[in-house]
Amino acid sequence: MRLSHLFLRAGAFVLAAGVSVLAARTTVAMVEDISVMSVQENLVDADMPWTSVIGDGLQVILEGSAPSEAARFRAMSSAGRVVDASRVIDNMTVVDTDGIAAPEFAVEILRNDSGVSLIGLIPADTNREALNARIARIAGGAEVTDFLEAADYPVPPNWRAAMDYALRALDLLPRSKISVSAERVEITAIADSALEKSQLETSLARTAPTGVQRAITITAPRPVISPYTVRFTVDPDGARFAACAANSPESERTIISAASALGFSGKSSCVQALGAPTSEWGDAVATAIRALSDLDGGTVTVADTTVTLQGLETTDQAAFEQAAGTLGNTLPDLFELVTELPRPADPTAEGPPTFTATRSPEGQVQLRGRIETDLSNLTAENYAAAKFGAVNVTMGTNVAEGLPADWSVRVLAALEALAQLSSGNVSVTPETVSVAGQTGNANADAQITALLIDKLGATANAELDITYVEALDPVAGLPTPDECIAQIGVVTSERKILFDPGSASLTSASQDIMDDIADILRRCPDIALQIAGYTDSQGGEDMNQQLSQQRAEAVLDALRVRRIPISTFAADGLGEVDPIADNDTAEGREANRRIEFSLIQAETADDDATTTDADNDTAEDQ
């Protein structure tokens, strides 16, 4: 009995021990599984799927290749928030960062009436304070939204030049989108007019950095033309357009194709504009031009919905009538046909009455010839004074009888045409208005033709001999930045910018020099100009630097007062550095006290702020 009880008790104890061990193992396995699952889920939620979690009893082992040391540390911290940190074993490796390619630096800039926004990646060594100040100045008080991130990687060679160019463009373009990379700057913008579009394209081309590709798209609203006009002539001198308006590229191609069939070989001068009376404009004009193919020459004028067919003095009457009849039957219903076949005029002993006006390159205007009445003469004088300035007008007209009924209208139209020229002359007879001269407007022929048609009718006979001179063009004739500096150098080579002794106040004698410099800068928009002040070596170094800074700023203020845009100018006081003469002599000290003008070049990776000196751009001060 005693042994059986002993065995029974021992068996119960062994069984209890086995159950306990089994329960402990089950509990540990459950804790391990739950810990591994919880840690793995937390790492996935933290966007670290590169980790794998292994359970070893109560220990949690993290394995995997971390993209960086920081990522490895975040994985350990994330696991330590789920289980006790002492249970987390780090078995991770860190990817070798030496082989990681540097990210591409790029910025997207958007500017509109509501402000400026920036998004992208820039180098970590960028001067954010200076960049933010520049953007704020460009925004002009509007909101600036900055989503720029920075990365500490080597700066590409052309990055600073590209970014500087993009910010200059942003300053010019109040409605624009600019994409910047180290190799390319893409600009999309809207201009208010075709002239502003041309000026902006010229300015952006003049300030473009080397080594950076550009893609510039600037759109402008089409001009509105009234009357909407095309005039095409075929005569012994050849085939040519005096005016051409088209409502679409397809319309222009249709018109030019019809003209080419009659011998026109020049470059298209058609202006794409609003104001066409019908969508069938191109077909109607082409039909009218083709009517001249059956004649020995002539002129066809389409002004809005009126088509005027004119023959030459030598044109056969029957052939002209047949061509006119064919044209009248093929034109769209909206258009009206007017015909005119001139005949040789009978010569008279006196010749036709004439009015002439001439404009000199200096702006002096002389009016001569016949005028209908005293009132008409006063009207012509007042009109000329309004167009050219009263002090520039000289009257040499005389009142005569027997002039055509529309003589005064022809005279005023001729004066308005003369105002389109930089210099030249106009001549009015009962049959013809002749305009000859020079202009900086490449479209002057078409504009003057449209003007005379509007004032005198579609049958008006105009003889134009107008020469386009690029130097007179307000856009094409703009000097380059280097030419601007050279012109300033000419102004300051013989005269000095002077200051009152020991002060930054410009002397009265320097005002004329500043006027001349301002006149040059008005034709040099958007150049990056450095105004540098220098002193001699007398006095303390800090005092000299401060005085030179004040004097450079005084010159900058003088330009601002003269309404010169100075947003791209910098005033720098350089003190007594870089002497150009011996400071031991009075003459040398006077030479060293000076103001220098030079261009600010775009920054490069090798030179953060490079400037170029013009050899003869130095103005001195006292």
Q: Is residue 48 part of a domain?
A: yes
Structural domains of the chain, count: 5
Write down the mean pLDDT value for the chain.
Answer: 83
User: Which domain covers residue 387, as residue numbers?
Assistant: 355-472
pLDDT digits (tens, 9 = 90+) for 398-451: 888 888 888 999 999 999 999 999 889 999 998 899 999 998 888 888 888 888
Predicted confidence band of residue 619 (pLDDT cuts 50, 70, 90)? very low
Task: Report yes or no on whether pTM surpasses 0.75.
Answer: no
Any domain includes 23: no
Rg of the chain over all Cα atoms, to the nearest angstrom:
41
The pLDDT assigned to 611 comes to 35
Do 112 and 94 share a structural domain? no
Residue 612 is predicted with a pLDDT of 34
Pick from 328, 253, 321, 341: which is nearest to 288 by CA? 328
pLDDT at 477: 62
Residue 21: enclosing H or E segment and its boundaries?
helix 2-45
Alpha-carbon distance 74 to 51, whole Å? 11
Per-residue pLDDT for 616 more than 60?
A: no
With respect to residue 178, please indicate whether it lies within any of the assigned structural domains: yes
| Cα→Cα distances 493→488, 500, 618, Å | 8, 20, 7
Output 221 or 555, whichever has higher pLDDT: 555
Give the separation between CA 84 and CA 88, rounded to whole angstroms: 7
The reply to whether 444 and 520 lie within a common domain is no
Banded model confidence at residue 17, pLDDT cuts 50, 70, 90: low
Is the model's pLDDT at 58 over the cut of 50? Answer: yes
pLDDT for 39: 78
| 86 and 116 housed in the same domain | no
Cis peptide bond prior to 227, omega within 30° of 0: yes
99 pLDDT tier (thresholds 50, 70, 90): low
Per-residue confidence at 495, pLDDT binned at 50, 70, 90?
confident
Under 8 Å CB-to-CB from 114, ≥6 apart: which residues? 142, 143
* Residues 93, 119 within the same domain: no
The Cα 325–Cα 333 span in angstroms is: 14
Does 13 map to a domain?
no
- Name the least confident of 117-131, 247-261, 562-576: 562-576
Tens digit of pLDDT for each residue in 140-164? 888 999 998 888 888 888 898 899 8
Q: Which two tokens stand for residue 29?
A: 């396995």
Residue 566 lies in a domain: yes
Check which CATH number belongs to the domain holding 464 and give it.
Answer: 3.40.1520.20
pLDDT of residue 107: 93
Question: Do 259 and 321 lie in a common domain?
Answer: yes
Q: Is the pLDDT of residue 608 over 60?
A: no
φ/ψ of 26, rounded to 5, equals -65, -40
Does residue 350 fall inside a structural domain?
no
Output the pLDDT for position 195. Answer: 75
Residue indicated by tokens 């009109």: 383
Residue 216 has pLDDT above 60, yes or no: yes
Per-residue pLDDT tens digits for 231-265: 999 999 899 998 899 999 999 999 999 999 999 99
> Phi and psi of 526, rounded to 5°?
70, 20
Tell whether 209 and 267 lie within a shared domain. Answer: no
Helix (H) or strand (E) holding 531: strand 529-534
- The verdict on residue 19 lying in a domain is no
pLDDT in tens, 256-303: 999 999 999 988 888 888 889 999 999 999 999 999 998 889 999 999
| 486 and 613 housed in the same domain | yes
Domain shared by 464 and 579, yes or no:
no
CATH number, domain of 595, equals 3.30.1330.60
Note whether 388 and 325 are same-domain residues: no
Handedness of CA 301, 307, 312, 313 (dihedral sign): negative
Q: Looking at residue 500, what is its pLDDT?
A: 82
